[in-house]
Structure 1
Amino acid sequence: MGTRFGSVDEYIASFPAEVRAALEEVRRTVHAAVPGAGEKISYQIPTITFDGKSLLYFSGWKAHIAIYPIPPVDDDLSAALDPYRSGKGTLKFPLAKPIPYNLISRLAKAFVEAR
């Protein structure tokens, strides 16, 4: 069944330094974009919550960071997300390239607006 994480800190600590740094920055970026957001582990990955409900999920992988699902977004944000789309509801940000944290901030705000 794999590792069971009790907290987002525990999840992030389980990764190598490069992935850990990116996960921490995603976490910080989302919290800055969504004041009052909480967090928990759900489906064994970090979950950002807002008003007590799951808002978005993020996870670390060997070569990328993933965020899901993709909320309804306007045409401009949709176009900006296109290079990162992987499947219907997943965004993958390769660790080999600079991660667009400003885009992740816009995405987090879109999640709140979609509620």
Structure 2
Amino acid sequence: MAGYLTTHVLDTAHGCPAEGLKITLFELSGENRRKLAEMTTNSDGRTNSPILPQGAFKTGIYELVFFAGAYLRATGQAVEDPLFLDQVPIRFGVSDDQAHYHVPLLLSPFGYSTYRGS
């Protein structure tokens, strides 16, 4: 089976999925950055489809940019200006184009974490 990329966002401050958070995916090559997709999370904090589906998925370096600041403002969690977290970039490598890569974001106004999930 061909590989694909998924993501989701959990709002750890509120203990719920982060609905309505914009995410952009870029492919990186040297100093070049090419936009591949832009999606918004649904009520489950996930995108409605893989952010990089089978057929488009290949080895390389990628960057997910999570627009955390807009989400934090919309949910009333933005308490300072400028925000401590605004855009959260996560740069990662794909070495197996036949695997499912899942890159979630656990988010609060003052911190985040990520991991390679399944």
TM over 0.5: no
Whichever of the two has the greater Rg, that structure is 2
Instruction: Give the number of the structure with larger relative contact order, counting CA–CA contacts within 8 Å between residues 6 or more apart.
Output: 2
TM-score (norm 1): 0.30
Indicate the structure with greater strand content: 2
TM-score (norm 2): 0.30
Indicate the structure with greater helix content: 1
